[in-house]
A and B are shown apart, each in its own frame.
Chain A
Amino acid sequence: MARLSLSALGRRIAPGWRTNDRRSVSSWPGAIVVLMALAVVLASAPAAHAQQTLPDPDQIKSQGMATPGGSVRPPANAVNLPDTSGSSVRRPGETGRPAPAMTVPGNAVGNESVTESLWDRVRHGQRGAVVVPGAEQGVLIQSAGEEWRLIRNDQVVHYGGMLLLAVLTAIVLFYLIRGRIKIEGGRSGLVIPRFTLAQRIAHWFAATLFVLLALSGLIILFGKSVLLPVLGPTGFAVVASASMQGHNLFGPLFLPAVLAILVLFIKGNAPRAVDVSWLFKAGGLFGSHASAGKYNAGQKLWFLMTIILGVAISVSGFVLLFPDFIAERSQAQLANLAHGIAAVIFIAVGIGHAYIGSLGMEGAFEAMSTGTVDTNWAKEHHDIWYAEHKGQAMADTGRAEVEAGAAGDGVMHGVRP
């Protein structure tokens, strides 16, 4: 795992990219990309020495595999130098033990000259020995950058875009077919306190940042394919530069926001037996009643997702924001992929969350605005929670809002001296 390399990953998911035929991109399920990239970041990002292992070019050829980076020719002014691979410079103090020799491919023929072969190796990120200490100093060209670029620009953009479009379409369709989910019994006029002021503030603080980051992030990720053709190079440059600055600036605030959500919402979000049946009934979306406590299984998953994706995005974001603190750029490349993939999923589900919390369901938005909910809404969507808290129902909405602010669904203590 620790030695899993980006190029290997890239080849496996996109063996056809060298043909420059974007249609022939492998159709591995996007989910695998996501899981792997996430796993990479979460498990090995701190390990920090995922070296580039370069497969032997011959082996590549004999297996009929594409050579990553092979499409790039040596610069026109490349000077032919004799192969110095066996006698590279020694570090001061090193013993005379020779550095591992680069072997000249045995079947080098025609234009596969010695120089070409050197270029090949350099181009493929072969690590040489150099006097300057440092993790990457021996690598002249970090060829994984190209792979990263292609995964990001093709795979992530492609599947991510499809995912987002699919979610949007699903929501529109759902709205057209099912319409706004009404409170069946109508409003009772009685409300129950639900969320504290602290919870609501944390929620809206995170939500504000989410929107700002999602918008700027989507421009960064999809701008080249979507906006560039519309705005033209100059216009897009302005928008992209602005988005990048904004994204970098708001990004660091997201971690504290997610942590605040974790602390303030963790109570009541533990799984319980009733969640299983809720999931089987798809939350009662299609008719049948699904029981739930303070949070239903969908909300619990969203909570979990917020924490896991939020932290993953934040950590990978910090890696990208402060590259000085990582050893090699391959880590930045992995971080970037994980960042983008996690973000696209987060946004996709987030759109669903925002929809159901506002337009999609009558009586849901006020839970997060005034902190109170109508008793009939509670009965229909959180029957178990309702049964526990119906004693707190009141007609004075202003009072309920105050009590919610101080104590959520708990009992407000009286005068504080």
Chain B
Amino acid sequence: MTVEPGTIAPDNRPVNVQAAVDKMDALLGGHIASYLDACVHCGQCAQACHFHEATQNPRHTPALKLLPMTRVYRRNKSPFSGLKKALGLAPEITEQELRDWEPLIFDTCTMCARCTVVCPMAIDIASVVAATRQAFVAAGLGPPDLLQAADNARDKGSPLGVTPEVLEDRVEWLADDNEIEIPLDKDKADVLLTVSSIEMMKYPDSVVAMAKLLNTAGVDWTLSSKGYEATNFGVLSGKSDVAKIMVERIAAAAEAVNAKTVVVPECGHAYGVLRWSGANLLGRELPFQVLHITEYLADLKRQGRLKFKPYTEQAVTYHDPCQISRRGGATADARYLLDGFASDFREMTPTGNFNWCCGGGGGVQAMARAADVRHEVFRIKMAQVEATGAPALVSACANCRLTMDESKAALKWDKELISIVEMLADNLDVPAES
């Protein structure tokens, strides 16, 4: 049996419907309730979602992703829910329904919030999806590989198996290989740098580049084996306990070295989670500021601590990671870095806060069964880049990069993908004496 992109083969995992309902009930606060009460079923969100646009399948309408919550709300929580229940207007959720919804909640939502832009009610479907994922996990559903990644992060320190020992090994290897200093576990430091295991394992050049930039600017920084993993698969998979653990580790590491700033590497959701949800997950304000690497480098450039030679090799365009730009608010900093640096910089249309997603955010990258639909989605990005005429695409997220690399290979696309950090590090204007 062939499975259409965005659907999953039938299986026989046991499903605890009540657990899902209880979880949704617990998470259903004023925000979600307002959203559910405002949706007018206008379907405009479909026009904004890359999964719908790439497949033109009405199933991938974002508003449908509100359905599980809507059902619980109508039956248990909404004003007049008793009346609706009595009239038979609010039927119970069935196991089959949960199974049918699973691909909508996991495989085909990158939590990019494009739909929110278009929605006349400004419904933040991404946040509802995040809450709904928790309920599905409670019921025993969810893509196994995504859940495994979260468990790995909890048990080994990183979804890709970068344990503290592996970290130490690789840092040593990178430092030796590149003849560069990469401080690990300094006692005290102003800045705690975190890394994404995707970089550690697949794009180590990016770690080297960050080290080079921070060293050049003379920053007092360190990595910490207590808390180094920036990605948070707890949030992506809907495992809230893991989500909290991951934030706690970084907070502990930062507090141990007395860091004033925690820098998040090239990773979109890592920034979104730590910067905007970290304090809420911990239940207290963070004693340090959280900056994305582009924000931090932009600061250093502003202060004159970093200077770059103009990049004249080729025309480039910039892909905004959703969680950094649209949902993170740090749209301007990457532009500030590219400004006056990339001599031929071309914006895509749309761009910035309204950019199209790469197709792999929200953990979709980690779901093997979603690969086909992801590649379909990537065609949108390809068309966007091609319209600019630029032969290279710069980005600031290792997850986007991995997604795009895979799709690029699958679709045999010939454009180049560049990490902004690597690009900057390669073109440092270092004074002669050092």
Q: Do A and B bind each other?
A: yes
Residue positions of A touching B, CB distance < 8 A:
398-399, 402-403, 406, 412, 414-417
How many B residues touch A, CB cutoff 8 Å? Answer: 13
Per-position 1/0 for B379-390, Cβ under 8 A of A: 111011001000
**Does B356 sit within 8 A of A, measured CB to CB?**
yes
Q: Tell me the smallest distance from the CB of A100 to a CB of chain B, in Å.
A: 69
- The reply on B53 being an interface residue by CB < 8 A is yes
Least CB distance, B44 to chain A, in whole angstroms: 15
CA distance A10 to B253 in the complex (A): 101
- Distance of A398 Cα from B58 Cα, bound (Å): 9
- Report yes or no: B56 in contact with A417, Cβ–Cβ below 8 A: no
Check B34 for interface membership: any CB of A closer than 8 A.
no
Which residues of B are in contact with A by a Cβ distance under 8 Å? 53-54, 56-58, 356, 376, 379-381, 383-384, 387
Distance, CA A241 to CA B39, complexed state (A): 39
A412 & B56 in contact (Cβ 8 Å cutoff): yes
Residue of B nearest to A412 (CB): B56
Q: How far is the CA of A403 from the CA of B376 in the complex (A)?
A: 17
B376 touches A417 (CB 8 A): no
A414 engages B58 (CB within 8 Å):
no
Asked if B53 and A415 sit within 8 Å, CB to CB, the answer is yes
Offer 19 A-B interface pairs, CB within 8 angstroms, sorted by A. Answer: A398-B58, A399-B57, A402-B56, A402-B57, A402-B58, A403-B56, A406-B56, A412-B56, A414-B379, A415-B53, A415-B54, A415-B376, A415-B379, A415-B383, A416-B53, A417-B380, A417-B381, A417-B383, A417-B387
Residues of B within 8 A of A399 (CB): 57
Chain B residues, Cβ within 8 Å of A398: 57-58
Contacts of A406 in B (CB 8 A): 56
Give chain A nearest CB distance to B346 CB in angstroms. 15
Of chain B, the residue at the smallest CB distance from A415 is: B379
Are A417 and B384 in touch, CB under 8 angstroms? yes
Chain A nearest CB, measured from B104 CB (Å): 16
Cβ contacts under 8 Å, A415 to chain B = 53-54, 376, 379-380, 383
Specify which chain B residues have a CB less than 8 angstroms from the CB of A402 in the assembled complex: 56-58
Question: Which of the listed residues B56, B376, B383 has the most CB atoms from chain A within 10 Å of its own CB?
Answer: B56
Top 8 A-B pairs ranked by shortest CB distance?
A417-B383, A415-B379, A417-B380, A417-B384, A402-B56, A415-B54, A415-B380, A415-B383
The CA of A406 and the CA of B47, in the complex, are separated in Å by 13
For the complex with contacts A398-B58, A399-B57, 17 further pairs of A-B residues with Cβ separation under 8 Å are A398-B57, A402-B56, A402-B57, A402-B58, A403-B56, A406-B56, A412-B56, A414-B379, A415-B53, A415-B376, A415-B380, A415-B383, A417-B380, A417-B381, A417-B383, A417-B384, A417-B387
Residues of chain A within 8 A (CB-CB) of B57 are: 398-399, 402
In the bound complex, CA of A417 to CA of B383 (Å): 6
Please give, as numbers and ranges, the residues of chain B lying within 8 Å of A414 by CB-CB distance.
379
Most central of A398, A403, A415, A417 by chain B CB within 10 Å: A417
Q: Identify the closest chain B residue to A405 (Cβ).
A: B56
A residues less than 8 Å from B379 (CB atoms) = 414-415
**How far does the alpha carbon of A415 sit from the alpha carbon of B380 in the complex, in Å?**
6
For B350, the closest partner residue in chain A by CB is: A417
Bound Cα distance A70, B58 (Å): 70
Q: Are B58 and A417 in contact, with the CB atoms below 8 A?
A: no
Residue of A nearest to B380 (CB): A417
Task: Kindly list chain B residues whose C-beta atoms are within 8 Å of the C-beta of A417.
Answer: 356, 380-381, 383-384, 387
A contact residues around B380 at 8 Å (CB) = 415, 417
CA A399 – CA B384 in complex, angstroms? 25
Q: How far is the CA of A403 from the CA of B53 in the complex (A)?
A: 13
Residue of A with least CB distance to B387: A417
For B386, the closest partner residue in chain A by CB is: A417
**Chain A contacts of B376 at CB under 8 A?**
415
The docked-state distance in angstroms from the alpha carbon of A414 to that of B382 is: 13
Give the Cβ gap from B250 to chain A, nearest Cβ, in Å. Answer: 37
Q: Give A158 to B381 CA distance when docked, in angstroms.
A: 67
Q: How far is the CA of A417 from the CA of B356 in the complex (A)?
A: 8
Question: A305 → chain B, closest Cβ, in Å?
Answer: 35
Instruction: Note all chain A residues with C-beta closer than 8 A to B381.
Output: 417
Nearest-CB residue, chain A, relative to B378? A415
A399–B376 Cα distance when bound, in Å, is: 16
Distance in angstroms from A356 CB to nearest chain B CB is 30
Cα of A346 to Cα of B380 in the assembled complex, Å: 48
Q: List B contacts of A416 (CB < 8 A).
A: 53
Nearest residue in B to A398 (C-beta to C-beta)? B58
